[in-house]
Amino acid sequence: MVDTGIRDAATGHAGTGHAGTRTLQPEAGLRARQPEAVRHAAAVLEEVAGCGPGVTGTRVARNLGLPKATTYRLLGLLVELEYLERTPDRHGFALGPKVPWLAGRLLVQ
């Protein structure tokens, strides 16, 4: 599990993508760069979705104007969190299994 900096208000444990009905609270204040990092991660996710399966990290970085190291770090984290996945040839990226899960949650409400 990745520590997102978000803690369960009741237990103090790190939150996960499947928090259910638990109330998650941010730790004492966001650091100055965290909101920017979240925006960049969302932009990377949207760029992969827009480009389609197989898009390379280099292309994502170029399209977004982000440094390659930053882009690959965000791609790796999004893969770890299952919002993205590597293509079978390991040369590109595609939307991961959490994306349809999230979309399905919209239909349930």
Q: Looking at residue 104, which CATH number applies to its domain?
A: 1.10.10.10
Q: How far is CA 33 from CA 30, 37, 50, in A?
A: 8, 6, 26
Average pLDDT in the 14-36 region? 55
Domain span at residue 75 reads 32-108
The Cα–Cα gap between 24 and 13 comes to 10
CA 15/CA 76 separation, integer angstroms:
19
| Whether residue 19 sits in one domain with residue 38 | no
- pLDDT for the residue 2: 40
Most trustworthy range by pLDDT among 12-21, 25-34, 41-50, 98-107? 41-50
- Identify whether residues 50 and 67 lie together within a single domain: yes
Which residue's structure tokens are 């520590």? 3
Q: Are residues 50 and 10 in the same domain?
A: no
Pair (15, 36) in one structural domain: no
Q: pTM for the whole thing?
A: 0.69
Q: How many domains does the chain have?
A: 2
Q: Are residues 57 and 102 in the same domain?
A: yes
